[in-house]
Chain A
Amino acid sequence: MKNKVRALRTRQNLAQGRLAEAMGVSRQTINSIENERYTPSLPLALALARYFDVTVEEMFDDQGS
């Protein structure tokens, strides 16, 4: 699924590992989400949106996938 996780993360100069640690997942999981190979669960999507202070709809685009 198309998403803005990489854009939001790099805007904050945040490493994948740090974001992964904050979300309680592996760095590979963050990488897979950013590369649109893995669609996160609803709890993780909500946690990501909350972390970057955006809505889930702003972060994920299910129309473009």
Chain B
Amino acid sequence: MTKVRSRGITRSKWFLPAFSLVLGLVMLAVSWLGGSPGQGVISLAVLAAFGLIILLAGRSETVRELRGDGRDERFAQIDLQATALSGLAVIVALIVAWLVATARGQSGSPYDWLLAIGGLAYLLAVAWFRWRG
């Protein structure tokens, strides 16, 4: 039931614009706390504009798929492949950064921690999906 409801929420055309706006507000609050409210206002403006564009560009099937309300099985597969590729890109970047940092005599942190989290998350995900069948 919860899974179906959450899928319904992410398939709403309002989800991504609302998420962008909330993220912008969080960034504004964090920047404000960090003493640079101007940066937060810029972040909020950029994310709000992105959300508005995504909300209004509903005539495009691609935008509707990205937004969630036009998502079907083919896009779910594309999304999965794109997510895997993005993850691979991040892992490769972290490995390179870790190698460079280590070669420079630095500790390699936080790249080693991030790589460990990535590896552990992958193993846990494999175990979970195997268990689920």
Contact = CB atoms under 8 A, between A and B. Distances in A.
A27 B65 CA distance: 11
Interface in B80-128: none
B72 to A, nearest CB: 4
A37 to B, nearest CB: 9
Interface residues of A, number: 11
Contacts of B75: 26, 29
A25 B70 CA distance: 8
A24 B61 CA distance: 13
A55 interface: no
- Size class of the contact patch on chain B: 10 to 19
A52 interface: no
Nearest to B62: A28
A27 B75 CA distance: 12
Contacts of B61: 26-28
A30 B118 CA distance: 36
Given A26-B61, A27-B61, 16 more contacts: A25-B72, A25-B73, A25-B74, A26-B64, A26-B65, A26-B70, A26-B74, A28-B61, A28-B74, A29-B74, A29-B75, A32-B74, A38-B77, A40-B73, A40-B74, A44-B73
